[in-house]
């Protein structure tokens, strides 16, 4: 993407469906032999990758229109999720729980995805073993069997895990007896997945708190479900508006899903005005005020907005620190923004950022999904031309980003080399 910076963003951006809900919602279709219709599904490469994997194992994935899918898993071709599919994204591990719950067996490659540090699946496997599964890891594959089916258990996660909570939630909904997930993730996407499972006939309570209780049922049925708006996409465009000194209305943004984030932006001197159908973002003053943040599980400051926020602080009036508590190696965007004139030093898991008057355009390279969009934001505020390469990362999580930026006055162009 070629970006000529220095233009404030002004206009309206519609926030699409949450990728981090659409993916587990798609895998939930494995649990039932009736249709699951999902609406407000974002048009992203990750959705396409998971569709290919589900089709491979025997799920019928039909596109009703650009943002609607109907999935049906009446029978399976195979219980194996091969490396060639799973290596593309970590969310592929979410087929494990549903396959094991409904069919009693699964063979799933250890996952790939963004290189932002170890995100092991050991907590998923430990919980499934507590539920009666027999699991081994052979030649890079998880081999799981539950010849007598799964049974309920109490599982305390030593650390909060979103995909772990989702995987076991889907496994437990068809298990015999009651499962209690303690220290469960409370993200809006987890809550919405539980809502979908309940709509399918599940008996789940406590979602949205740190203890989720699942009373297993014998079978589930079809459902139609709307994917909630993507809070990370909303936060990204909010930072872009703040960084460029513009004003953007984020249509469909849910303020309650980003409370800690919007509270931080207010400290930065950014006005976040909640409306009935979205949030209006504008920078109140000429200067961005510094504010320290630490990433934390929901409802704390999201790790998926850390890279973007680091760029915002790179042009603040003062010094701020950003501490990454969720993933290792999530400062890989920093060497790239240093090339653009940022003043950042990294000490362990903390980045100390002293704001500069302006960034300057440069060729930069994306390393992961959120780093890629952070570099786009840096290009929007920089003086001169920025070229962001390896843009395929951004297509995993941001639908039509250049069109949305163009509609708000940005000078951006996607091209191939």
Chain centroid, CA 53 distance in Å: 19
Q: Which residue among 114, 153, 253, 408 is the active-site one?
A: 114
Backbone angles phi, psi at 211, to 5 degrees: -125, 115
Task: Give the Cα separation of 328 and 326 in Å (integer).
Answer: 7
Q: Are 43 and 403 in contact (CB under 8 A)?
A: no
Contact status, residue 15 vs residue 234, Cβ threshold 8 Å: yes
Q: How far apart are CA 337 and CA 79, in angstroms?
A: 44
Task: Give CA–CA dist 333/371, Å, rounded.
Answer: 5
Give the containing element (helix H, strand E) for 193. Answer: helix 188-199
Q: 170 and 124 in contact (C-beta within 8 Å)?
A: no
311-340 as b/e: b if 16+ CB within 10 A: bbbbbbeeebebbbebbeebbbbbebbebb
Which residues contact residue 317 at a Cβ distance below 8 angstroms, ignoring those fewer than 6 apart?
287, 288, 289, 290, 355
Check if 114 is active-site.
yes
Alpha carbons 361 and 384: distance in angstroms, whole number: 5
Residue 195 half-sphere exposure, CB side, CA atoms within 13 Å?
A: 16
What the block records as the tokens of 211 is: 């203890």
Nearest to 395 by CA among 47, 42, 17, 45: 45
Quote the distance between the C-alpha of residue 92 and its chain's center.
Answer: 13
Exposure of 56 in the CB half-sphere (CA atoms within 13 A): 17
3 state SS of 157: coil
> From CA 334, how far away is CA 346, in angstroms rounded?
9
Strand order in the sheet with 10-14: 10-14, 247-251, 278-283, 270-275
Cα separation of 389 and 365, whole Å? 5
Active site residues: 114
């Amino acid at each position: 993407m070629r970006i000529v910076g220095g233009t404030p963003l002004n206009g309206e951006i519609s926030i699409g469906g949450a990728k981090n809900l659409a993916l587990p919602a798609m895998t939930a279709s494995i649990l039932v032999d009736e249709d699951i219709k999902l609406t407000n599904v974002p048009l992203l490469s990750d959705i396409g990758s998971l569709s290919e994997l589900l089709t491979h194992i025997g799920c019928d994935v039909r596109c009703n229109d650009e943002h609607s899918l109907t999935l049906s898993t009446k029978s399976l071709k195979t219980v194996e999720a091969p490396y060639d599919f799973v290596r593309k994204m970590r969310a592929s591990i979410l087929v494990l729980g549903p396959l094991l719950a409904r069919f009693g067996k699964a063979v799933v490659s250890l996952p790939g995805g963004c290189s932002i540090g170890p995100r092991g699946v050991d907590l998923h496997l430990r919980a499934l073993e507590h539920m009666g599964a027999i699991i081994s890891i052979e030649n890079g594959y998880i081999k799981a069997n539950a010849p007598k089916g799964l049974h309920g258990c109490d599982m305390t996660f030593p650390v909060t895990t979103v995909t772990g909570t989702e995987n076991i939630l889907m496994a437990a909904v068809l298990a015999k007896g009651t499962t209690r997930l303690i220290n469960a993730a409370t993200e809006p996407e987890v809550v919405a997945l539980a809502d979908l499972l309940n709509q399918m006939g599940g008996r789940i309570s406590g979602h949205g708190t740190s203890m989720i209780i699942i009373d297993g049922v014998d079978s589930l049925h079809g459902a139609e479900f709307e994917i909630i708006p993507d809070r990370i996409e909303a936060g990204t465009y909010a930072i872009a508006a703040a960084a460029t000194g513009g004003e953007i209305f984020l249509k469909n943004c849910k303020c309650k899903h980003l409370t800690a984030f919007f509270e931080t932006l207010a400290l930065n001197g950014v006005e976040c005005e909640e409306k009935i159908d979205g949030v209006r973002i504008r920078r109140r003053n000429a200067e961005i005020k510094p504010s320290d943040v630490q990433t934390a599980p929901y409802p704390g400051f999201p790790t998926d907005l850390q890279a973007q926020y680091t760029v915002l602080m790179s042009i603040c009036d003062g010094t701020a620190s950003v501490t990454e508590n969720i993933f290792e190696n999530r400062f890989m965007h920093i060497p790239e923004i240093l090339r653009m004139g940022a003043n950042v030093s990294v000490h362990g898991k903390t980045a100390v950022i002293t704001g500069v008057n302006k960034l300057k355009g440069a060729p930069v390279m994306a390393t992961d999904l959120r780093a890629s969009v952070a570099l786009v934001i840096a290009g929007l505020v920089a003086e001169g031309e920025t070229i962001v390469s390896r843009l395929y990362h951004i297509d995993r999580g941001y639908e039509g980003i250049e069109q949305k930026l163009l509609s708000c006055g940005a000078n951006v162009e996607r091209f191939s080399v």
